[in-house]
Structure 1
Amino acid sequence: MEIQRAVEIFNSKDTYKVNLEGKSVWIEHVDQQNGMATVQVGSRPTNTLTVNVDRLKEGE
């Protein structure tokens, strides 16, 4: 995923499917300068990862 698209999804009021290695995630924060995103994996708010946005896929 491109960094700008990650920012658009994060700022949108709509819900988009985003996956990280086949697992559904929610984007919680986007660090544009470093190309990183903090995502919540699954439904547990404490299960977060910070990953390169290139690893995120939309709509799969």
Structure 2
Amino acid sequence: MDANRVKQILSSSADIEVQYNGVSVWIHKLHEDGKTATVELRGPLEEQSEVDISELQEF
């Protein structure tokens, strides 16, 4: 995924499914470098991670 698409998803009111390593995640923010983002696992764990946006996939 590229930075422009991450920005579009963040500003959208739609529930857009994004996966990281096969796991559904919410994108919280795009970092200033434009290459990484903070994501949170969907579900009860609410675990946040910083990931490379090139590894995010939209479904």
TM value normalised by structure 1: 0.86
The alignment-based identity, stated in percent, is 28
Give the unaligned 5+ runs of structure 2. Answer: none
Give 1:35's aligned residue. Answer: 35
Give the unaligned 5+ runs of structure 1. Answer: none
Superposition RMSD in Å: 1.2
Native 8 Å contact 2:3 2:34 kept in 1: no
Matched, 1:17 2:11: no
In structure 2, how many angstroms separate the alpha carbons of the residues matched to 1:11 and 1:4? 11
Aligned residues: 58
